[in-house]
Amino acid sequence: MSDPISWDAGLIRRYDKAGPLYTAYPPVAQYSDGILPNDLFAALRESGHLDRPLSLYIHIPFCANACHYCWCPRVITKDRSRAQPYLTALYREMELVARHLEGDQPVQRLHLGGGTPTFLGHADLTELMARVRGHFHLHEDDNADYSVEVDPREADWSTLGLLRELGFNRVSLGVQDLDPEVQRAVNRLQSLEQTQAVMDAARALAYRSVSMDLMYGLPGQTRDSFAHTLERVLEMKPDRLTLHNYVHLPQLHASQRHIDESRLPSRDERLAIYARSQCQLLQAGYRYIGMGQFALPDDDLSLARETGLMSRGLQGYVPGEQTDLLGFGMAAISQVGDLRCRNTGDVLEYQQSLARDRLPLRTGLRCTADDRLRSAVIQQLMCRFALRFSDIEKRFNIEFFAYFADCRAQLQQMHDDGLLQLGERGIQVLPAGKPLIARICMVFDAYQQVGNGNRYAHTL
C-alpha cells in the first residue's frame, strides 16, 4: 500500500513558492550559448562505448488551432503541407545524430509529442517510424515504453489503430477541462464524446496504458466545476492522470495574452481545486505518484513508486532508471552523459540549419561535479520521497552535511513544521510534505531559484 499523503492548507500557503518542477537538473533555464555539434557528437560516442540505454523524444510542433494556455513550442497552421519541410529536416537530424552512436543501444522509451503529433497524416506517421527504426534499435516485443500524445479532436479509430501497429503502446490524451465555458475561454473546444471515443479505441486496440492530462487554474474554473470534470473523467478510468498547474506567464508566452486575467481563479481557489481533486482521485483508488501525477494501483508507474525503481525526467515520472535522452525536432532537448543541449525553437532556423547539415543547437551546458551530486539528491527525493545519506556519500565520496552545511537549517525548519523527518541516516518526506516535494528539493538547488516568478510559477 502506498504511503499516505495529506493536505495542510497552512503549510501549503507558507511553503509553495515559484520554482522549477525538477524534470531536469540543472533546470533548462540555466542553459546558455556555447554548446557545439561536436560536443554532442563526442557525448554520443561515449554513450555508445558505455552501451547506455536510450530514450527518444520527437517533437511535432504543428497545431491546427492555438490553445491560449499552451506554453509548448508550436507552429499554428491548418496547412498540412507545412509538415513536409519539417519532416525532411527531422529525418536529417536523426541521420546526423545516429551516425555518431556506436554499439547497439536499445531504445527503452520513445515519446512522440508536440504540438499535435496526429497533425501528421497516416503516410507521414508510417514514414516517420520507418526512419526511426532505420536509425535506432527499437524493441519489437511491446515491453518498452513507446508513447504518443493524441488530441481527441484530431484522432479516430483508424489513427489509433495505425499508431498501435507502428509500435506505440501508451497513449496520452490532452483534455484539460470538459466545461464548455472554460474551453471557450482557452480556445479549446473538445466534447466529452470525442474524448470517450478515443478512450474506447485505445482500450479496444489493447494499448497498455492510457493517460489523461487535466489543467487547473484556467479562466472560469471553480472547485465545483473542476470536480464535475474530474467525475466524468474518472468514469472513463484512465490508467494515469496528471493534474497540471496552469502557468500564467504572458510575458514569456504570447498566446496567454488572449486570456482574461480577471477570470483566473484566485490563489486560494486554485489550491482548493487541487486539494479537492487530489481527494477525489485518492477516493477513486488512484495512487499518488508525485507532482500532480496519479496512477491506478496495477499500473506500472504505481508499482515503480512502491519499489522506488522509477525516474523523473522531461516527460515526468516514468518506470525504470534514467537513460540518455536524444531529442529531435524544434526546441527538443537532449541529455547525454553530462551534456545538456536544446535545439532552436524557431522552425525556419531549425529547417535551414539542417539543410546545411548542421545540428540546430541553440543552448546547453555541461554538468559539473556539483550538478551531478545535487541532481542525484533531487532525483532520489523525487522518486522515493526519501534520501539515504549513505547512498550519496558512497557514490560521491563526501560527508553529507559537510558538503550541504548551508542546507541544514532549512531542512531542520521543515522537520519542525512536519514536512519531513530529518534523522542521522537520512530524510523521510512525511505525508504533509509530499505535495511540496519540489519545494523540499529547492533546498538543494544551487541556482537559488526559490521565488523566481519571472521564469517560474508556483509549483501547485
3 state DSSP class of 426: strand
Burial of 153 (0-12, 13-18, 19+ CB in 10 A): middle
CA angle centred on 151, ends 150 and 152, rounded to 5°? 105
Distances in whole angstroms, Cα of residue 355 to Cα of each of 44, 46, 297: 22, 27, 48
Contacts (Cβ under 8 Å, ≥6 apart) of 351: 85, 86, 88, 89
Cα–Cα distances in angstroms (integers) from residue 15 to residues 82, 148, 248, 414, 456, in the given order: 46, 35, 20, 9, 15
What the block records as the C-alpha cell of 233 is 473523467
CA atoms of 375 and 24, how far apart (whole Å) = 8
Output the known binding site for [4Fe-4S] cluster.
63, 67, 70
**Residues tagged in the binding site annotation:** 57, 63, 67, 70, 114-116, 149, 176, 188, 213, 333
Known binding positions for S-adenosyl-L-methionine? 57, 114-116, 149, 176, 188, 213, 333
Q: Hey, is 172 helix, strand or coil?
A: strand
First to last CA, the chain: 25
Distance CA 402, CA 264 (A): 45
Q: Give the C-alpha distances (Å, rounded to integers) separating 65 from 125, 182, 238, 306, 383.
A: 20, 16, 25, 40, 36
Please count the other Cβ atoms lying within 10 Å of the Cβ belonging to residue 358.
14
CA-wise closest residue to 300 among 108, 126, 31, 136: 108
CA distance 7 to 271: 10
Cα 190 from Cα 413, distance rounded (Å): 46
Please, where are the H alpha helices in 318-368?
A: 347-355
d(CA 270, CA 267): 5
Distance CA 234, CA 278 (A): 12
